């Protein structure tokens, strides 16, 4: 028993969410993008925003480097950061499509 107490504590490996949870996340993602499309809001995030988002992800504890996925939501990050309708599940970056495109043209 004493020997067991002396063993170093190794962190539990991160796991992706269950397939059911990932399917729900994907359905929500598709739904938000479709809603943005029909309400004339932005669907895709600008290139500079995508770069900012992925830079944040790369420093995050939930970043799965090999798969370029998020351990928290299970999303493939190259797709998630490209969608204006998506936000980080930890609040580290936000969605960018709250303003309809036509309003950005106003003076």
Q: Which residues bind ligand SF4 (CB under 6 A)?
A: 56-57, 60, 62-63, 70, 72, 88-90, 92
Q: Cβ of residue 18: shortest distance to ligand SF4, in angstroms?
A: 17
Nearer to ligand SF4, 18 or 103 (CB): 18
What does DSSP assign to residue 10? P
Q: Cβ of residue 70: shortest distance to ligand SF4, in angstroms?
A: 3
Nearer to ligand SF4, 51 or 103 (CB): 51
Nearer to ligand SF4, 14 or 103 (CB): 14
């Amino acid at each position: 028993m004493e020997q067991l107490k002396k063993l170093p504590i190794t962190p539990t490996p991160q796991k992706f969410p269950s397939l059911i949870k990932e399917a729900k996340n994907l359905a929500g993602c598709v739904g938000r993008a479709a809603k943005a499309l029909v309400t004339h809001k932005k669907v895709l995030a600008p290139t500079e925003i995508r770069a900012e988002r992925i830079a944040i992800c790369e420093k995050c504890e939930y970043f799965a480097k090999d798969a370029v996925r998020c351990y928290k939501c299970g999303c493939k990050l190259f797709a998630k950061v490209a969608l204006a309708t998506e936000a980080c599940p930890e609040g580290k970056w936000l969605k960018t499509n709250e303003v309809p495109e036509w309003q950005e043209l106003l003076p």
